Amino acid sequence: MNDINILKENGVDLEKSLDLLEDMETYDEIMSEFLKKANEKLNDLKTFSEAGDLESYGRSAHALKSDARYLGFTHLAEMALEHEMESKDGNINYVHDHLNEIFEETNKMIELGRRYLVNAPIEIVDENNGTPKEATILVVDDSDLIRSFIYSIFNERFDVVVAVDGGEAITIIGNDTENKIKAMFLDLNMPNVDGFGVLEYFNQNNLFAKYPVSIITGAEDRDLIDKAFQYPIVDMLQKPFTEKDVKRIVERTLSRAK
């Protein structure tokens, strides 16, 4: 059993995190996923900052913010939100001037997570033991933590197929010749092809009746949300969400499946 006092004594808001994740087993899985990908996320921030690619930088900061919120890294989440907002405003000077600060705070959380887990990897084990799954659902999100969280909730009941961006999602849908996928859960803010690219593809190919879609988003922009609801989506799941939230959305979306 990992010592949660290591987290609490170092400012982690574990109570708030467990409001979202429900239990420490899920928390440990999410922490493990964060540790696997954190350095890659920092490298992305550095690369996009040096290239002056503020759109991609903002997406990376947004993903880091979501991860930090789920893990109770309150200060890191606030910093990542500030970087996201400043990059959206085109403030390259802020990004350059404060990049080291977000690196230092992220590395601090990486070290804390390693101390907490004692460098022990967490494996997601399928405990279904061959029992037939009820349906296949597609989760499209560039956040490893979000994909892992949803998988951990539903993998015993459903076949959970994941995609890291809209382009991969479109490919998966195109290969679903037997119509095994019964619902899709789609993030709006992703690199390469974003959620709106997928929604437009569905619109042009009359796929909404075949594949009910609900949106996953951390966006707080009312215009962006209104734009999503111009498409015939089922519902919207706002990040950060709880296990109860996502179960409700999944049930509602699957109820539209044919």
pLDDT tens digits, residue range 192-223?
Answer: 899 999 999 999 999 999 999 999 987 667 88
**Cα 152 to Cα 156: distance, rounded to the nearest angstrom:** 8
Dihedral pair phi/psi, residue 89, rounded to 5°: -85, 0
Coil, helix or strand at residue 9: coil
Q: What is the pLDDT, as a whole number, of residue 132?
A: 65
pLDDT for residue 120 is more than 70: no
pLDDT for residue 164 is more than 60: yes
Domain assignments of the chain as residue spans, ordered by start: 5-117, 136-254
Dihedral pair phi/psi, residue 9, rounded to 5°: -70, -15
Question: Among 17-26, 53-62, 182-191, 192-201, where is mean pLDDT lowest?
Answer: 17-26
* CATH architecture, domain defined by 5-117: Up-down Bundle (1.20)
Percentage of the chain with pLDDT > 70? 93
Report which of 97, 72, 96, 56 is spatially closest to residue 13, judged by C-alpha positions: 72
Q: Which residue has the higher pLDDT, 112 or 144?
A: 112
Which band of pLDDT confidence, cut at 50, 70 and 90, is reported for residue 143?
Answer: confident
Residue in the block written with tokens 């601090």: 108
**Cα 129 to Cα 185: distance, rounded to the nearest angstrom:** 26
Pick the CATH number of 136-254 from 3.30.390.30, 3.40.50.720, 3.40.50.2300, 3.40.630.30: 3.40.50.2300
Average pLDDT of the residues in 125-136? 60
217 membership: H or E segment, kind and range: strand 213-217
Q: What is the pLDDT, as a whole number, of residue 19?
A: 87
DSSP letter, residue 82:
H
Q: What pLDDT, in 10s, does the model give residues 232-241?
A: 999 998 888 8
pLDDT for residue 25 is more than 70: yes
- Pair of tokens at residue 100: 């080291």
Under 8 Å between Cβ of 103 and 38: no
Percentage of the chain with pLDDT > 90? 62
Dihedral pair phi/psi, residue 74, rounded to 5°: -60, -45
Neighbours of 229 (CB within 10 A): 11
**Cα 57 to Cα 189: distance, rounded to the nearest angstrom:** 12
Report which of 230, 249, 253, 227 is spatially closest to residue 238, judged by C-alpha positions: 249
**Cα 50 to Cα 92: distance, rounded to the nearest angstrom:** 10
Q: What is the pLDDT, as a whole number, of residue 1?
A: 59
Q: What is the pLDDT, as a whole number, of residue 128?
A: 45
Average pLDDT of the residues in 101-117? 93
Q: Is 136-254 the same fold as 5-117?
A: no
Q: Which residue has the higher pLDDT, 156 or 207?
A: 207
- Give the predicted TM-score (pTM) of the model: 0.73
Helix, strand, coil % over all residues of the chain, rounded to 5: 55, 10, 35
pLDDT for residue 70 is more than 60: yes
Q: Which residue has the higher pLDDT, 2 or 71?
A: 71
Residue in the block written with tokens 């890659």: 40
Q: What is the pLDDT, as a whole number, of residue 222?
A: 80
Under 8 Å between Cβ of 77 and 155: no
**Cα 199 to Cα 207: distance, rounded to the nearest angstrom:** 9
Question: Among 101-115, 117-131, 156-170, where is mean pLDDT lowest?
Answer: 117-131
CB-facing half-sphere around the CA of 239: CA atoms within 13 A: 28
Residue in the block written with tokens 């959206």: 88
Q: What is the pLDDT, as a whole number, of residue 223?
A: 84
DSSP letter, residue 236:
E
Which band of pLDDT confidence, cut at 50, 70 and 90, is reported for residue 160?
Answer: very high
